[in-house]
Amino acid sequence: MTGSSYSPRFPARVRTFWPLFVSWVAVDFVTKRIAEDSLALHVPRSVLGEFFRFTLTYNTGAAMNFSLGQSSRVAFTVIATVMLFVIFRMYRETDDRDGWQAAALALIAAGALGNLLDRLRSARGVVDFIDVGTSGWRFWTFNVADMGVTVGAALLALLMWRQPRPPE
Q: Are strands 126-134 and 137-138 parallel, antiparallel or unpaired?
A: antiparallel
Query: Residue 128 — pLDDT band, cuts 50, 70, 90?
Result: very high
Q: What is the pLDDT of residue 1?
A: 45
Query: Rounded to an integer, what distance in angstroms lies between the CA atom of residue 82 and that of residue 128?
Result: 22
DSSP 123-158: TT-EEEEEEEEETTEEPPPB-HHHHHHHHHHHHHHH
Q: Which of 36, 140, 110, 120 is nearest to 78 (CA)?
A: 120
The whole-chain average pLDDT of the chain stands at: 91
Q: Are strands 45-48 and 126-134 parallel, antiparallel or unpaired?
A: unpaired
Query: Rounded to an integer, what distance in angstroms lies between the CA atom of residue 131 and that of residue 139?
Result: 7
- The pLDDT tens digits for 2-52 are 455 555 689 999 999 999 999 999 999 999 999 999 999 999 999 999 999
Query: Rounded to an integer, what distance in angstroms lies between the CA atom of residue 136 and that of residue 142?
Result: 18
What is the value of pTM for the model shown? 0.88
Annotated catalytic sites, by residue? 128, 146
Higher pLDDT pick, 144 / 63: 144
> Is the pLDDT reported for residue 105 higher than 90?
yes
Q: What is the pLDDT of residue 61?
A: 74
Mean pLDDT of the 75-80 span: 90
Mean pLDDT of the 103-117 span: 97
Q: What is the pLDDT of residue 9?
A: 85
Query: Rounded to an integer, what distance in angstroms lies between the CA atom of residue 165 and that of residue 168?
Result: 9
Query: Rounded to an integer, what distance in angstroms lies between the CA atom of residue 79 and that of residue 63?
Result: 13
